[in-house]
Amino acid sequence: MDPLTPDFDVIVIGSGISGGWAAKEFCDKGFKTLVLERGKDVKHVEDYTTANTAPWEMEYHGRITQKEREENPIVSKCYAYGRTTEHFFVKDNEHPYQQDRPFDWIRAYQVGGKSLLWARQVQRWSHFEFERPQRDGYGIAWPITYDDLAPWYTHVEQFIGVSGNNDGLEEVPDGAFLPPWEMNAIEKHIQKEIKRQYPNRTAVIGRCAHLTAAKEIHREQGRNQCMARTRCERGCPLGAYFSSNASTLPWAKKTGNLQLKTHQIVSKILYDPKTEKATGVEVIDAYTKAVKRYSARVVFVNAATINSNSILLNSTSERFPNGLGNDNGLLGRYLSFHNYRGQVTAIHRGAPEAYYYGRRPTSVMIPSFRNKTRQDAAFQGGYMMFYSATRQGWTRQQEGAAFGTDYINKSAQPGPWSIYMMMQGETVPQKNNRVYLSNQKDRYGIPKVTLDVGYTQNDELMLADFLEQGAAMLKKAGCEQINAYETHQAPGLDIHEMGGVRMGNDPSTSLLNQYNQMHLCKNVYVTDGACMPSTGVQNPSLTFMAITARAVDYAAAQLKNRSI
């Protein structure tokens, strides 16, 4: 590895949702880019082996056995984990980690990472998300504003394809949308009642990364319109939802500038104290355990939040004994997530004549209405709600006969409307919520990750508010049999972990500047969830992608003018 003639212009660590975007943007700009993926290859279409499997073709009709559940107590809690998707998840015993407090770490080690498995809900963050932590005193100032990111949101939305409606709401800004999905009769009824009875609350159709109408840019990617299957987590043969596998990585490959290497576990970033820059990375081959080094002028860290933290913490040197760029000791701290602990179910007896056709990959969302322009609730931060209405199926209780031909025929008919509502709450960044490295090592000789993350009283207050408000809103909308309850789920199961390598204006309280460049190592950028100073209310993935595209644009300019 010759520092004077690096192997590549750029190394991107990780091929998931943000790594794929970094690769695409750099390759589009003509930079020789190496993407290092620690897991297996997953080829678009070819490796979606269960995409068309019917339930009767699977052992136990697709149900996971109790033995498998006991062997995988963490990952089997994930809503998307099952017989048709298990091959895309890391099993609990494959890569053990340590927990000081319960944290359900859901991982996907393969090309595309969790972009194959994500829930695909994409809302722009509003200026409230960027301003509220400092305004209400629960976080540092974001070094960027909504206006800084807005053009990059548009850039990303146009490429990935986002269905949605321009609702004109300040709390969820409009975007470059494809046609929205439609609400059904009861969802529209609840929407109308909320609008009528709560002047400051609005229900709108969710925005998701599905092609409701494929445009030329999507056809160029080889992607097609969504067929409303909702077998998404198995991998979509149509490429109808956005994933690295269907979109950014093949696009980058077409430029001729991409090299993608699988089974390459990055153990550390190499640092040269003379230049005060990174020279490249050290990797361990997952099969042979052979150690290799790759050099580049720039390193983008996109290994997913916790692993990005882990790599930086393990990148020790004489200059940085506590991890790369970690003079302030904050690397790994302020790990945050989303509070998903509240759910409400109900039934509605209206619209008996209405039904729907197909399966919709999104739900209705109610943007945050708490602490909007000032802190007006007993807790800090905001939360949003999602709800959907479906006709009950054969699992419902019925009046009359308990078995027999008529019972089966009746079970097969659509039942009353069932309502499901859930919360997505911002958690306040806490210094003692952290990821750090254990003294124990994994099978590759890399220190194991330890997670010390928990809820706070603020989360309890927010949860209580959601349960009360959610139930009240559904009641006012005419719902019955309302059941508001707590899921008791541990942090991590939300799969929205963020922070640890946060952006900020002040190097004494942050690790990255406004362009995601490490304050103390200018050619290393972190643009996945690890960079986030706060979690916001909205889903985070669209923001990861927009931040990545913006950071690449900046880094590319720096590379061209030889500033890094």
Partner 1 sequence: MYFVFSSFKWQNARLKNMNRRTSLEVLLTSSLGVALLPQQLWSNNALAAVNEDAVPFYEAFSQHLLGDHYSAVAPLGVSIGCFIQNCLTEKGIKDLNTGLSQLQAHCLTRHKNRFEQLSHQQQQEVLIASFDPSAAPFPKAALFAQQLRGIALFHFFNTEYGATKVLRYLPVPGRYDGAVPLTSTARTWTH
The contact set with partner 1 (CB under 8 A) reads 49, 52, 54-67, 181-185, 187, 227-231, 352-360, 391, 393-395, 402-409, 411-415
Encoding tokens for residue 68?
């498998």
Q: Which is nearer to partner 1, 389 or 495 (CB)?
A: 389
- Cα separation, 380 vs 343, in Å, equals 20
Q: Which is nearer to partner 1, 151 or 352 (CB)?
A: 352
Of the chain, the end-to-end C-alpha distance in Å amounts to 18
CB of 263 to partner 1, least distance (A): 24
Q: Which is nearer to partner 1, 45 or 58 (CB)?
A: 58
- Sign of the C-alpha dihedral, residues 517, 522, 523, 524? negative
Q: Which residues pair with 366 in a beta bridge?
A: 385
Buried b (16+ CB within 10 A) or exposed e, 485-513: eeeeebbbbbbbbbbbbbbbeeeeebbbb
Q: Which is nearer to partner 1, 178 or 258 (CB)?
A: 178
Q: Which is nearer to partner 1, 179 or 273 (CB)?
A: 179
- Cα separation, 27 vs 24, in Å, equals 5
Look at phi and psi of residue 562 and say left if phi exceeds 0, alpha if psi is from -120 to 50, else beta.
left
CB of 476 to partner 1, least distance (A): 22
498's CB contacts (< 8 A; 6+ apart) are: 305, 335, 336, 337, 529, 530, 532, 534, 535, 540
CB of 230 to partner 1, least distance (A): 7
Q: How many CB atoms lie within 10 A of CB 89?
A: 25
Q: Which residues pair with 347 in a beta bridge?
A: 418, 480
**Whether 446 contacts 412, CB under 8 Å:** no
CB of 273 to partner 1, least distance (A): 54
177 DSSP assignment: P
Q: Which is nearer to partner 1, 146 or 407 (CB)?
A: 407
Q: Which is nearer to partner 1, 154 or 224 (CB)?
A: 224
SS3 179: coil
Q: Which residues pair with 298 in a beta bridge?
A: 10
Our measurement of the distance from residue 346's CA atom to the centroid of its chain's CA atoms, rounded to an integer in Å, reads 28
CB of 135 to partner 1, least distance (A): 38
CB of 396 to partner 1, least distance (A): 10
Q: Which is nearer to partner 1, 57 or 506 (CB)?
A: 57
SS3 87: helix
Q: How many CB atoms lie within 10 A of CB 299?
A: 32
Antiparallel, parallel or unpaired: β 434-441 and 521-526: unpaired
CB of 485 to partner 1, least distance (A): 21
CB of 539 to partner 1, least distance (A): 20
Please state the length of the chain: 564
Q: Which is nearer to partner 1, 151 or 393 (CB)?
A: 393
CB of 34 to partner 1, least distance (A): 35
Q: Which is nearer to partner 1, 230 or 255 (CB)?
A: 230
- Sign of the C-alpha dihedral, residues 224, 229, 233, 235? negative
**Whether 511 contacts 553, CB under 8 Å:** no
**Residue holding tokens 């997530």?**
337
CB of 245 to partner 1, least distance (A): 20
Q: Which residues pair with 272 in a beta bridge?
A: 277
Q: Which is nearer to partner 1, 57 or 94 (CB)?
A: 57
Q: Which is nearer to partner 1, 79 or 394 (CB)?
A: 394
Q: Which is nearer to partner 1, 192 or 359 (CB)?
A: 359
Encoding tokens for residue 555?
């880094």
CB of 27 to partner 1, least distance (A): 33
- Cα separation, 22 vs 31, in Å, equals 11
CB of 181 to partner 1, least distance (A): 6
* CA angle, 247 then 177 then 106, to 5°: 50
Q: What are phi and psi of 193, to 5 degrees?
A: -65, -40
CB of 451 to partner 1, least distance (A): 27
